[in-house]
Structure 1
Amino acid sequence: MGLKDVVIKEARPLPVLLLVDNSGSMANEKINTVNVALKEMIAEFNGIKNAKGKISVGIITFGNTVEIVQPIKRIEETVVPEFQAAGKTWMGEAIDKAIDMLEDRNQVPERAYTPTIILLSDGLPSDCPGRTDPKNYDFSQWEPLQRLHSSERLKKCPKLALGIGDGTNYRMLNAFINNPEVPVIKANDLATITKFFQWVTYSISKRSVSSNPNEPVIGDPKEMFGVDEVEYLLSL
């Protein structure tokens, strides 16, 4: 067998899809911090060597409109725009669009490893019935989350969430994660936004070079965050 007969098998895709709140309440320092931290994360992913899972990234924003600003592409093809903040919080529509993307075999092939979905928000969804009575609403019954957690392809995928500021509803974000062992991260200041992205970067980078990238790797939150920066499902 000569060199021409050797076929180099490309690493299987490891999709990461970010849902970024760019509603009006995220304006100025919040969205600027997200812009910087996200670009640093992409740069770190680009530097990973010998990965068994080749990271691919997609980005959906939800503010004035729900927009796919970055289709799911190989990390070296990922281009992160400067997010601008304005409008309402159309999170349900964004979650539905995320499900459509990740279930589409043309965008995420059958051979891909289990995706990771990451949600960042600083408020209640504008398109959720629970907005009128969030203290009593069961967010696990919200249709977009029911669809997400019942999807055969997505119900077992890791989900991470960051709540930013006082307007966050942590019951809603915990319902998104749907795992009592994984907390919502609470950003009471801008520094925690940066730490969250560092935590995500570490977790996904470790997973990409592990012997089995289908197994979720989530860094121990206690090593990165203080007790006032985590909110577990069972504590609510």
Structure 2
Amino acid sequence: MNKLYPDAASALADIVRDGQTVAVGGFGLCGIPEALIAALRDSGVRNLTAISNNAGVDGFGLGQLLESRQIRKMISSYVGENKEFERQYLAGELELEFTPQGTLAEKLRAGGAGIPAFFTRTGYGTLVAEGKEVREFNGVLHILEHALVADIALVKAWKADTAGNLVYRRTARNFNPNVATAGRITVAEAEIIVEAGELDPDEIHTPGIFVHRLVHNPLPEKRIEQRTTRQGD
């Protein structure tokens, strides 16, 4: 099965639809699938539900899709420095399901593991708990949280092989592993792609069985030089 596509647009062309739920890896501006987000914007799909720790910043990352009004609902843990995110929410133009950061990560992990729901202490006694089942375990009250599964998951890897095995680099190993497993169709972009069998099995973070499509998005030369300089300092 050939998982490698020539570009992000072709990798998304026949799978994106209006009204889908899309999970996106990354934390702030770290480890976000830039090429795939841009291709999603250019596809023109609308009324998306986006699952992501946050929505980037104005004009960058998922902030682009907020500006183009392609996102109907955000499921996230952080509004951040995105003024358009804040404006749309306060104006009633954007639905927001605010979720504690650790709970959001676990909802994605559970979705990828086939666990439909779980109980957690986080959020009990706050607005987060409204309308949710409460149970007592060992004398402590917990709330029921449902897992998240997305129609499409978009992730960013540092290195991949042609079988779709992924390696994340440093802090880019944030929400990406959980997002990768929580998608019915997972599309990954990677800076480096090698042949199957070239990766050490011990360095693989996301097994290729979770990845359906792969796009090569190499670093521009300037960023490679900057990274090399930082490593040498």
Relative to the length of structure 1, the TM-score reads 0.31
Richer in helix (by share): 1
Richer in strand (by share): 2
